[in-house]
Amino acid sequence: MRNRIISLLFGALLLTSPVFATMSRASNVQLAANSFPAPVPQYLASIITAAATKYRVDPNLIAAMAFRESSFNANAVSSRGAQGIMQLMPRTARALGVMDSLDPQQNVFGGTKYLKSLLDRFHGDIDMTLAAYNSGPELVAKLGPAATQESVAYVAAIKSYYETALRSLSLS
């Protein structure tokens, strides 16, 4: 019980640290593929791990976003037109160099590249970064992470999945 409480406190401290999602040693962070509401498919786990290493972002944050965005469905298309695992809007995808948003590797690498740019822009602030991914960086820069009700729910969901993944790693 005591170890569980310590793990929970450690996880909470990590989430309040402004740089917890960016990694200085990307290759040392393990993906907790079975700790999400649905396990990360094996093919996708390798793509997420490669993108995490390239862009130096925690693979568990990428996976948490991928689950929230598409439930790991490479063919997902939202009513607003966002596409693929990381739900990239066509204009954003083009700006990131993604030619086929329904291609899992292109989508995850593009989404992770965008995530990293937001982490850098908002100095590692996870709430601002996630809200900006959801609602747009200009709106969030002006109004903060509670810019929309949708972004508040979005940030809370991803942080919950991410905390669960980090907790499972600390218990193993």
- What's the pLDDT tens digit per position in 132-169? 999 999 999 999 999 999 999 999 999 999 999 999 99
- Catalogue all structural domains in the chain, each as residue range(s) with its CATH number: 2-171 (1.10.530.10)
| Model confidence, pTM | 0.85
Alpha-carbon gap, residue 72 to 81, rounded angstroms: 17
Alpha-carbon gap, residue 63 to 59, rounded angstroms: 6
pLDDT of residue 67: 98
Alpha helix (H) residue ranges in the chain = 2-16, 42-55, 59-70, 90-95, 104-121, 126-135, 137-143, 149-171
Give catalytic residues, as residue numbers.
69
pLDDT of residue 4: 43
pLDDT digit string, tens, across residues 68-119? 999 999 999 999 999 999 999 999 999 999 999 999 999 999 999 999 999 9
Alpha-carbon distances of 136 from 24, 102, 111, rounded to whole Å: 26, 21, 13
